[in-house]
């Protein structure tokens, strides 16, 4: 039997529709419009598209999206000054610095300078520590979105063996922690892992966050597994065009997996929905309001 396709677009749309209602209530009861500021440094084409999409979706859920474009020549000191200004602005609830930053800007120092209460991307060291210690805080958007996608087909993850391929600060590590917090048994694989196929074969839940086109082959996958493909890779097609593929060989995985996310239309839309969710939380937390 073919795998169920996990429709990230539809799940994100439903999440955003529910969020729009909460935002409307926040406005009505407390006269608060959540505001998300995007810092976009330089003219990286993909980053511009990502920020434009995020700002559009913020508007769609009745939030305010404020884009701050800065030239690629921006210095570290100038960028930190911009963060300080946004930290101090009482109308700004969330701050997102679009990554990657142009060289030689130090993204770690920039992220660490964000007021943790406005860290809606969930990348500040305090947010990472809160996740580790299961305290209230903002969770990195992509892994949080993946959890919703998994839950849509596997509401009870307790005891499942989850394999996360990739150990980045933004995706792999927080993903593993969320799965652990959901009572999975978690294995984290990376570029030094030996015999990756045999580890992937043990996964009831497989998260691929590698950045290598179709690296995970269909015959590695345990029959019936839930497969979440975070990868976004642009590959050239025979006609000279390009298309997006994930880290999993989708066509091969389809007859083996129990459920699988497509690329595009899987994890990507959920990442933005979770960013907006975090911005709503920030608008509440900053005013000591209890989120709906």
Which window, 111-119, 127-135, 152-160, 192-200, contacts ligand NDP (CB under 6 A)?
Answer: 192-200
Residue 145 to residues 9, 124, 141, 211, 289: CA-CA distances in angstroms? 11, 18, 6, 18, 24
Q: Is 212 in the site for ligand NDP (CB under 6 A)?
A: yes
Q: Is 143 among the residues that bind ligand NDP (CB under 6 A)?
A: no
Query: Looking at beta carbons only, is 18 or 169 nearer to ligand NDP?
Result: 169
234 touches ligand NDP by CB under 6 A: no
Selecting among 93, 98, 160, 204, the annotated active-site residue is: 98
- CA dist 1 → 4, 80, 224, 258 (Å): 9, 53, 9, 8
Q: Tell me if residue 121 is catalytic.
A: yes
For the chain, the maximum distance between any two Cα atoms, rounded to a whole number of angstroms, is 57
Binds ligand NDP (CB under 6 A): choice among 14, 233, 245, 289: 233
Minimum distance from CB of 3 to ligand NDP (Å)?
A: 19
Residue number with CB closer to ligand NDP (147 or 284): 147
Cα separation of 285 and 258, whole Å? 38
Q: Which of 114, 189, 207, 282 binds ligand NDP (CB under 6 A)?
A: 189
By CB under 6 A, tell whether 201 contacts ligand NDP: no
| 54 labelled catalytic | yes
196 binds ligand NDP (CB under 6 A): yes
CB nearer to ligand NDP: pick between 60 and 232: 232
Applying CB under 6 A, among 102, 116, 211, 265 the residue interacting with ligand NDP is: 211
Q: Nearest distance from residue 266's CB to ligand NDP, in Å?
A: 7
187 binds ligand NDP (CB under 6 A): no
How do beta strands 161-165 and 64-70 pair? Answer: unpaired
Rule CB under 6 A: choose which of 112, 201, 232, 244 binds ligand NDP: 232
20 in Cβ contact with 61 (< 8 Å): yes
Q: How far apart are CA 285 and CA 130, in angstroms?
A: 15
- Distance in angstroms (rounded) separating the CA atoms of residues 10 and 6: 9
Catalytic residues, by residue number, are 54, 98, 121
Site residues (vs ligand NDP, CB under 6 A): 142, 165-168, 170-172, 189-193, 196, 209-212, 215, 230-233, 267-268, 271
């Amino acid at each position: 039997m073919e795998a169920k396709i996990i429709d990230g677009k539809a799940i994100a749309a439903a999440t955003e529709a529910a969020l729009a209602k909460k935002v409307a209530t926040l406005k009505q009861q407390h006269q608060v419009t959540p505001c998300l500021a995007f810092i976009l440094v330089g003219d990286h084409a993909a980053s511009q598209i990502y920020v434009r999409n995020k700002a559009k979706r913020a508007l769609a859920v009745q939030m305010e999206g404020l884009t701050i474009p800065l030239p690629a020549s921006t210095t570290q000191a100038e960028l930190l000054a911009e963060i300080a200004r946004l930290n101090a602005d009482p109308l700004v609830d969330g701050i997102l610095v679009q990554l990657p930053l142009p060289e030689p800007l130090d993204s770690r120092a920039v992220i660490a300078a964000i007021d943790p209460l406005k860290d809606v991307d969930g990348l500040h060291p305090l947010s990472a520590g809160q996740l580790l210690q299961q305290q209230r805080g903002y969770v990195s958007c992509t892994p949080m979105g993946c959890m919703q996608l998994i839950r849509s087909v596997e509401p009870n993850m307790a005891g499942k063996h989850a394999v996360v391929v990739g150990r980045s600060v933004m995706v792999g590590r927080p993903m593993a922690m969320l799965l652990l917090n959901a009572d999975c048994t978690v294995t984290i694989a990376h570029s030094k892992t030996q015999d990756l196929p045999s580890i992937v074969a043990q996964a009831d839940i497989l998260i691929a966050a590698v950045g290598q086109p179709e690296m995970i082959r269909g015959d590695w996958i345990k029959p019936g597994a839930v497969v979440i493909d975070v990868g976004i890779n642009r590959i050239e097609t025979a006609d000279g065009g390009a298309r997006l593929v994930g880290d999993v060989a989708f066509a091969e995985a389809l007859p083996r997996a129990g459920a699988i996310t497509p690329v595009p239309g899987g994890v990507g839309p959920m990442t933005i929905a979770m960013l907006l969710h975090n911005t709503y939380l920030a608008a509440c937390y900053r005013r000591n309001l209890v989120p709906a």
